Amino acid sequence: MESIIAELKQELVVTCKMYENRCQELEEKARESKAHLVEKTKEVEFLLADSKKKIKELEENSKLKFKNWENKGLKLKVLADAADNYHKVLAENQRLYNEVQELKGNIRVYCRIRPFLPGQNQKSTTIDYIGESGELLIVNPSKQGKDGHRMFKFNKVFDQAASQAEIFSDIQPLIRSVLDGYNVCIFAYGQTGSGKTYTMSGPITASMEDWGVNYRALNDLFGISENRRNSFFYEVGVQMVEIYNEQVRDLLVDDGPQKRYPLCMSSTQPNGLAVPDASVHPVKSTSDVLQLMHVGQTNRAVGSTALNERSSRSHSILTVHVRGVDLKTGSTSRGCLHLIDLAGSERVERSEATGDRLKEAQHINKSLSALGDVIFALAQKNTHVPYRNSKLTQVLQSSLGGQAKTLMFVQINPDVESYSETISTLKFAERVSGVELGAARSNKDGRDVKDLLEQVAFLKDTVARKDEEIEQLQMVIDLRTRSPMLNNDRNAMLIHSSSPGIPCLVGTARLGPQLSSARLVISTDKAPSEPDNSFQFSENHCMANGGDKDQKLQADAYLVGFRDVDLEDKLSEISDSVISVGTETDGSVSSSTEFGVFPESSKPVQMSKGKM
């Protein structure tokens, strides 16, 4: 029994021990769990705080974004409104832009001086000074220190170094006008070899850098029409005709010269085509144009003269027709760009032409003269403009005058051999540019500089001239004292010797003093009622009477005591004055056609010599 009790006690102790151990284990576990739970709670609390923070951030973010969207929405609305007004703004822009062009003058004359060619003597040049505002001072190499200088003024003068890109940048705005429905004529005028073709087309194997006005203009048209493609649709078509011996021919027929025929003209075509029978070729890219021009240039009539074998004896007219459709309103506009490489303006003797060549030269002279008359009449805002006097002016009629813009490149050779042609060319240009009325005047603010420079040149010459005049007067007085009868007859002959087209001197016996004193009275014997055939008039004089009269003048002059050279000086001086009111010569009285380039003013004109 006792052993059982002892055994039970033992067992109880063991069980107690086990129980205690178990309790300890459980307590341990409970502690661990609690610690773990505390840890977890902390973690969760941290996560909760973090989440709360993120929610707050997100809330703020979304508020910000919402605000941004609100702003963007506003901007979008502004844009939408602007898009609505775009057409109105564009139209206004085009209107203002063209007004600016008009303020610059609808007739502009730019002079470009060709660089010396390889082998030319660069030292002997006729170019003395080129001003920033279009002044050009020409020096006569054979009259150093005397009447050796003459000043001209144009809208701009480009010197020998001017690049093709520079030339184009100045006319680029005019090209834009064509897309806005305006008509534009760009001419190159000058003697053969002065760079007309170079300016208009560029050299034959031209890289893009050397491209002339033609290619650049078309390239530009395609560029601008591409930029406006969302608002406008443009169609571009090209015609190329030449005027040779007063006949208009299509240059873009590909089966040779046989198919070239004289074409009729129309000024009433609704599509604006002045030569409706000439083929119109749609073009979409500059490479299309390059191909067409190659055909045109191959077909162009060229003749051979002593002056330049490749001299072009025809006017070539590249016409670019542009039709624009406003995609929003559906309205259409038509603009026309004429790019004209004129035939050489040199006078007939210089190229020693006879027969067919003489006929070509007469036709060229007639049409250039008519062109000068038309631009002159337009610049003077005459009610009658003599378009009908040549095919050239007929073809271009709708694009000369009115809202149309005209730009003439006057090309000059810098070498001394070309002096008289240079003067002749510049006088033509001066006539068409110098008289422009209205807005274009504001473009000529360099006038004072011109006047001053001219006065300087004039004063330099005056001393030498005075001496000579005294000497000449002395000779006339001597002659008078020796033979009074002869003297009277000579005066009469000189007064009556003026033929159509040659200015007559009033009171020739007082020629010397009049030239040096304040006023010089010049008149022509052309009837005031003479119609627009002024060239015909001049040509008749040149071909039929010119030689005789000139000889008579020289003979008369010899009798009153002027040497040939003196007479030439005097006539040159007189002609120079007359030129600025409508006739031209370089002072060489033996030139037979030079008077034909400009018609004389129909009224006697008084010039103030002192103002020179």
Q: Which is nearer to ligand ADP, 345 or 508 (CB)?
A: 345
Q: Any known ligand binding at 193?
A: yes
Q: Please state the φ and ψ torsions of residue 211, each to the nearest 5 degrees.
A: -50, 140
Check the annotation: does 73 bind a ligand.
Answer: no
Q: Of the listed pieces 197-205, 219-227, 382-390, 581-589, which binds ligand ADP according to CB under 6 A?
A: 197-205
Two structure tokens written together for 83? 């898009």
Tell me how far, at minimum, the Cβ of 607 lies from ligand ADP, in Å: 32
Backbone angles phi, psi at 300, to 5 degrees: -70, 135
Among 197, 219, 286, 508, the residue binding ligand ADP under the rule CB under 6 A is 197
Q: Are 488 and 559 in contact (CB under 8 A)?
A: no
Q: Which segment (92-100, 193-201, 221-229, 568-576) binds ligand ADP by CB under 6 A?
A: 193-201
Nearer to ligand ADP among residue 106 and residue 164 (C-beta): 164
Which CB atom, from 112 or from 321, has the smaller least distance to ligand ADP? 112
Nearest to 453, CA basis, from 177, 129, 78: 129
Cα dihedral 161/173/252/276 (nearest 10): -150
- Provide the residue count of the chain: 612
Shortest distance (Å) from residue 115 CB to ligand ADP: 5
Sign of CA dihedral 471, 472, 475, 480: negative
393 marked as binding residue: no
The distance of closest approach from Cβ of residue 413 to ligand ADP in the complex, given in angstroms and rounded to an integer, is 9
Q: Which is nearer to Mg ion, 197 or 367 (CB)?
A: 197
CA atoms of 149 and 88, how far apart (whole Å):
53
In the numeric block, the tokens 């004129």 are attached to 342
Rank residues 101 and 311 by Cβ distance to ligand ADP and give the closer one.
311
Contacts with Mg ion by CB under 5 A lie at: 196-197, 312
Contact of 575 with 350, CB cutoff 8 Å: no
The correct pick among 108, 149, 176, 196 for binding ligand ADP (CB under 6 A) is 196
User: Residue 414 has what DSSP assignment?
Assistant: -
Residues 114-173 touching ligand ADP, rule: CB under 6 A, are 114-115, 117
Residue 167 or residue 511: which is nearer to Mg ion going by CB?
A: 167
Sole residue written with tokens 């006319």: 171
176 touching ligand ADP, by CB under 6 A:
no
* Under rule CB under 6 A, residue 546 binds ligand ADP: no
Smallest gap from Cβ 104 to ligand ADP, in A, equals 24
Residue 366 near residue 595 (C-beta atoms within 8 A): no
**Structure tokens given for 193:** 């070899």
Could you say which of Mg ion, ligand ADP, none residue 402 binds, taking C-beta under 5 to 8 angstroms by partner kind?
none
- Contacts with ligand ADP by CB under 6 A: the residue count is 14
- Contact call for residue 203 and ligand ADP (CB under 6 A): yes
DSSP string for residues in 116-139: PPTTS-TT-BSEEEE-TTSEEEEE
Q: Which residue number is nearest to ligand ADP in terms of Cβ?
A: 195
Least distance between ligand ADP and beta carbon 302 (Å): 10
Q: Strand 135-139: give its sheet, edge to edge.
A: 127-130, 135-139, 149-153
Among left, alpha and beta (phi > 0; psi -120 to 50; other), residue 495 is alpha
Stretch that binds ligand ADP, among 111-119, 175-183, 218-226, 242-250 (CB under 6 A): 111-119
| Closest to Mg ion by CB, 203 or 223 | 203
User: Is the Cβ of residue 197 or residue 497 nearer to Mg ion in the bound state?
Assistant: 197
CA contacts within 13 A on the Cβ side of 382: 14
303 makes contact with ligand ADP (CB under 6 A): no
Q: Which CB, 213 or 241, lies closer to ligand ADP?
A: 213
Is residue 413 a contact point for ligand ADP (CB under 6 A)? no
Cα atoms in the Cβ-side hemisphere of radius 13 Å centred on 46: 6
Q: Tell me whether residue 197 is annotated as binding.
A: yes
CB of 347 to ligand ADP, least distance (A): 15
Between residues 195 and 596, which has the closer beta carbon with respect to ligand ADP?
195
- Smallest separation (angstroms) from ligand ADP to the CB of 201: 8
- Residue 570 assigned to a binding site: no
Distance between CA atoms of residues 134 and 551, nearest Å: 39
Q: Looking at this protein, which amino acid is placed at residue 27?
A: E
The verdict on 198 binding ligand ADP (CB under 6 A) reads yes
Give the helix/strand (H/E) hosting 152.
Answer: strand 149-153
Measuring CA to CA, which residue among 128, 247, 138, 234 is closest to residue 178? 234
CB 206, min distance to Mg ion, A = 14
Contact between 193 and ligand ADP per CB under 6 A:
yes
Cα separation of the two ends of the chain: 165
Q: Identify which range of 40-48, 185-193, 371-379, 560-568 contacts ligand ADP by CB under 6 A.
A: 185-193
Q: Whole-angstrom Cα distance, residue 171 to residue 192? A: 23
Q: Is 410:189 a contact under the CB 8 Å cutoff?
A: yes
Q: Give the single-character DSSP code of 598.
A: S
CA pair distance 425, 585, nearest whole angstrom: 10
Structure tokens at 146: 């005397």
Instruction: Note whether 216 binds ligand ADP by CB under 6 A.
Output: no
When asked if residue 418 is in the footprint of ligand ADP (CB under 6 A), the reply is no
Q: Which residues contact ligand ADP by CB under 6 A?
A: 114-115, 117, 190, 192-198, 203, 344, 411
Binding site, annotated residues for ATP: 190-197
